[in-house]
Structure 1
Amino acid sequence: MAHFVVVGAGQAGAALVAKLRALGFQGDITLIGEEPAPPYQRPPLSKAYLLGEMEEERLWLRSADFYADNRITLRLGEAVTAIDASARTLTVGGETLTYDELALTTGSVPRRLPAAIGGDLAGVYTVRTLADVDAMRAEFQPGRRVVIVGGGYIGLEAAAVAAKLGLHVTVIEAAPRILQRVAAPETADYFRALHGAHGVTIREGVGLARLAGETRVTSAHLADGNELPCDFVIVGVGIQPITALAEAAGCAIENGIRTDATGLTSQSHIWSAGDCASFPHGTGRLRLESVGNAIDQAEAVAANMLGAGQPYIAKPWFWSDQYDCKLQIAGLNTGYDHIVTRKGEGAAVSFWYYAGDRLLAVDAMNDARAYMVGKRLIEMGRSPAPEAVVDTPDLKALLKA
């Protein structure tokens, strides 16, 4: 009987094994993960879970019985140490497993500060895993001071939680503005004002020189000479794909594990999906760090492992929750040259990214209708005139125009 192995028990890995069974695969399935917890949602970690509004079991993507009921062998708390692509074997826990098809859904890890500038001091945290958040939870006490390094979505979400819990929060961003890499100035302005209204101090255009402290961090020294006393630090300066295992197995690496349009790597019988995978998109290649992509790509790869032979077509979408604001993003804004602003009901607002007359993406703040309409328009390849976006009373009319 065929044996399919999936290495990486995150969102993509969980989606892939579930889809294999949903598509009728009757062979053996093994899902291997380095963390001791079963596959779980990551987005709530820096929000509801950190706030204490969600228990660990509610993070789990499937019930405890799902894997046994579907004859999926879970090997948790174990690392795959080697893959032999020619023999179609892998080593885990000192044991050699044989596979017929292998999927790498190894995900990504947060970038850390170098030890040379204090990145290894106690009290310095990243936000990626359940263990990360459990380790820092006790730090979130009212009146304490936290410095957050990085003004991207992870850093801003952590800032929102800290502010809600009564901490004194300072965000430092080396780039000229927050969200520099991922959003327009209009979206950055919106969130800068939102955080300011909640007492968060944002320092833009100034980098971190070093963290100070004997064994535990006590202050952050900035490149402009200022010193920020602090009780702990959260680092949110991006993530990087986990590719070492794939590379050692002979898989080509290009901003992640390089795959073809079906999710197959440069090694036959080895596939990849999720944060770690780089796939063809338009005239180039793309690696997406999102829940939506992890699920959609993993399900497409599951079908292709069973012979579907269909290219994966990404439909990017993202979200972020900060205070009482839900940001929903549709599309990719790369290459935009102007922004159209649409005011919604109450405080709702959306920013529409255009390259010439082509709609690329939409950032919608507390405006689910703008997000849904924008997402459908982008997926349909339709671009309404900018004045229509601003002036049409009912956005759904744009779908019929």
Structure 2
Amino acid sequence: MNGVLVIGASVGGLTVVEALRRKGYGGHIRLVGDEPHLPYDRPPLSKEILTGRWPIERALLRDREQLDDLDVELDLGRRAEQLDLEARTVCLDDGRHLRYDSLVIATGLAPRPLPFQPAVAGIHTLRTVDDALALRRELPTARRVVGIGAGVLGCEIAAAARSLGRQVTLIDPLSVPMARQIGGELGARIAAMHQRRGVHLRMGAGVCGFNSVNGRIGAVELADGEVVPTDLAVIAVGSVPATDWLTSSGLTLSDGIACDAYCRAAPDVYAVGDVARWRHPVTGVSTRLENRTNATEQAITVAANILRADRPYTPTPYFWTDQYDTKIQVHGVIAPDSRIRLIEGDAAAGRFVALAESGDTVTAAIGWNHPRGVRTARRRLVMDP
């Protein structure tokens, strides 16, 4: 028996391993990760790790002793390069061919680069712990910081840089921050929150180039002709599923790995987390979710299905973000045409629960500094179990 091979050693891959052991699986498990670090949590990278409030060790998901207790063979700092479905093997960058009985792909995302991004110092992306540390090293000497992209990650980075006293400009082609995640009305509240803390917002603006001086970023050029001076630029314009190594595998790749309702991409091959796209059995919509909660819940379902549970994956989408002293939680999906209705708390005081509604249907429960209230409100969602 070749056991279970897990490619991707972040929270999704590790949770598969832990769930298999909890369910009594005693076979061989190998966990392969392309970073040399022990598995770590990604949400703190743009907050506690970036600001220096946490040491790196605090972001580790498990220490070495806990991993040893799982009886898992770790291959860290190794990259998967090819999958052969017929031979049931994965080829690594060191030339080894690893056989499997069941394969789990949990390779996550890669930052989306700008097509005109120059190779000069002072331009960063943030996906890995090494990215966070490189950015953290430069922040103390960067008086001016530009964030390109005002989604969740871009807003969190802006909040972290502002909390360290940097001058921050946040640029995005949409009219308000986090518009794709929470819509215009709540996005306007995010904008006001950042502006109160001194962030300069350039919404509705596109970036068309960079100016550099002596090999280092000096300014960001906007499409309307404005030039924004900066000492440091962070690009957060989205991510793409890390599936390049699977292009010749025979798996169906369509903005992720296409799976059935059981997260199965091929016989005995499963996908977990940000990289997995599956048809939600309740909504009927082809779905790919980019958040930590989905990675853990999906991993638990996949572990059960490896052990022949045949359990469809039916989550309620959920994400959260911490910016300054504000925690925002969203259960469900806020559609572009959603109406936001306050049901508890005080919006002016910055603590409330609201519902997003499309017609007569509640599509999301939103908590703004109100974790307990939003847990209760999520029961109103049509997709909630």
TM-score normalised over the length of structure 2: 0.95
Please give the root-mean-square deviation of Cα atoms over the aligned residues, in Å: 1.6
Q: Aligned match of 1:348 in 342, 351, 354? A: 351
CA distance in 2, matches of 1:181, 1:244: 26
Range with greater deviation from structure 2 (23-32 or 175-184): 175-184
How many aligned residue pairs are there? 379
Q: Secondary structure at the match of 1:91?
A: strand
The residue that corresponds to 2:361 in the other structure is 358
CA deviations over 1:285-333 (Å, ceiling 9, x no partner): 0000010100000110111011111101112111100000011111112
The residue that corresponds to 1:393 in the other structure is none
Q: 1:147 to 1:69 in 2, by over 3 A?
A: same
Q: 1:371 to 1:120 in 2, by over 3 A?
A: farther
- Whichever residue aligns with residue 222 of structure 1, its letter is L
Q: Does 1:229 align with 2:229?
A: yes
Give the superposition deviation at 1:118: 3.5
Q: Secondary structure at the match of 2:303?
A: helix
Equivalent pair of 1:208/1:220 in contact (CA under 8 Å): yes
Equivalent pair of 1:274/1:288 in contact (CA under 8 Å): yes
CA deviations over 1:33-57 (Å, ceiling 9, x no partner): 0001111110000001111111111
Give the superposition deviation at 1:353: 0.6
CA distance in 2, matches of 1:138, 1:320: 24
Equivalent pair of 1:11/1:294 in contact (CA under 8 Å): yes
The residue that corresponds to 1:163 in the other structure is 162
The residue that corresponds to 2:37 in the other structure is 37
Give the superposition deviation at 1:2: 4.3
The residue that corresponds to 1:386 in the other structure is none
CA distance in 2, matches of 1:88, 1:283: 31
CA deviations over 1:151-182 (Å, ceiling 9, x no partner): 11111100101111000000011122222211
Q: Secondary structure at the match of 2:170?
A: strand
Q: 1:381 to 1:12 in 2, by over 3 A?
A: closer
The residue that corresponds to 2:6 in the other structure is 6
The residue that corresponds to 1:288 in the other structure is 289
- Whichever residue aligns with residue 361 of structure 1, its letter is A
The residue that corresponds to 2:206 in the other structure is 207
Q: Secondary structure at the match of 2:273?
A: coil
Give the superposition deviation at 1:350: 3.2
The residue that corresponds to 1:387 in the other structure is none
Equivalent pair of 2:315/2:384 in contact (CA under 8 Å): no
The residue that corresponds to 1:175 in the other structure is 174
Q: Hey, which bits of structure 1, 4+ residues long, moved more than 4 A? A: 379-382
CA distance in 2, matches of 1:96, 1:142: 46
The residue that corresponds to 2:132 in the other structure is 133
Q: Does 1:104 align with 2:99?
A: no
Q: Secondary structure at the match of 1:249?
A: coil
Q: Does 1:147 align with 2:146?
A: yes
The residue that corresponds to 1:305 in the other structure is 306
CA distance in 2, matches of 1:60, 1:306: 28
Equivalent pair of 2:334/2:364 in contact (CA under 8 Å): yes
Q: Does 1:275 align with 2:295?
A: no
Q: Secondary structure at the match of 1:78?
A: coil
The residue that corresponds to 2:71 in the other structure is 71
Equivalences for 1:43-82 in 2 at 5 Å? Answer: 43-82=43-82
Q: Secondary structure at the match of 1:344?
A: strand
Q: 1:86 to 1:143 in 2, by over 3 A?
A: closer
Equivalent pair of 1:315/1:379 in contact (CA under 8 Å): no
CA distance in 2, matches of 1:120, 1:269: 41
Q: 1:43 to 1:21 in 2, by over 3 A?
A: same
TM-score normalised over the length of structure 1: 0.91
